[in-house]
């Protein structure tokens, strides 16, 4: 079992756009082979807006396959090209932090 979390701190003006993105990403994950579950959470205070994406997979390779789907790779290519050409929109994301976990029962034993 593999669990992946990603936290995005977002500018307040990006709330609605990021809500839609999180809904789209979790829906995509839930139908992808190897995904057991996916949830998106958010926390909003006077000073910050944070989205937390939590997904549970059969194995890390399944999550990596989801990341490598063609539409996801194309979005990154387009963003890179726009940045290089100077036509990129300002980022909504102030910071991004990811963590990964494996089930303790599945952790390899020390040698």
For residue range 63-89, what is the model confidence (pLDDT) as tens digits?
Answer: 999 999 988 888 878 777 877 887 877
- Quick one: average pLDDT of 32-46? 95
Averaged pLDDT of the chain: 90
CA distance linking residue 74 with residue 40, whole number of Å: 23
Whether the Cβ atoms of residue 2 and residue 102 lie closer than 8 Å to each other? yes
Q: Nearest-CA neighbor of 51 among 73, 72, 21?
A: 21
- Quick one: average pLDDT of 26-38? 96
Is the pTM higher than 0.85?
Answer: no
């Amino acid at each position: 079992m593999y669990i992946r979390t990603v936290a995005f701190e977002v500018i307040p003006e990006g709330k609605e756009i990021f809500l839609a993105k999180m809904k789209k990403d979790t829906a995509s994950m839930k139908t992808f082979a190897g995904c057991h579950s996916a949830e998106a959470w958010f926390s909003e205070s006077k000073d910050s807006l944070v989205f937390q994406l939590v997904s549970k997979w059969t194995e890390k390779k399944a999550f990596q396959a989801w990341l490598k789907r063609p539409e996801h790779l194309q979005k990154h290519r387009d963003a890179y090209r726009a940045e290089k050409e100077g036509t990129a929109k300002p980022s909504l994301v102030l910071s991004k932090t990811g963590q990964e976990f494996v089930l303790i029962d599945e952790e390899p034993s020390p040698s």
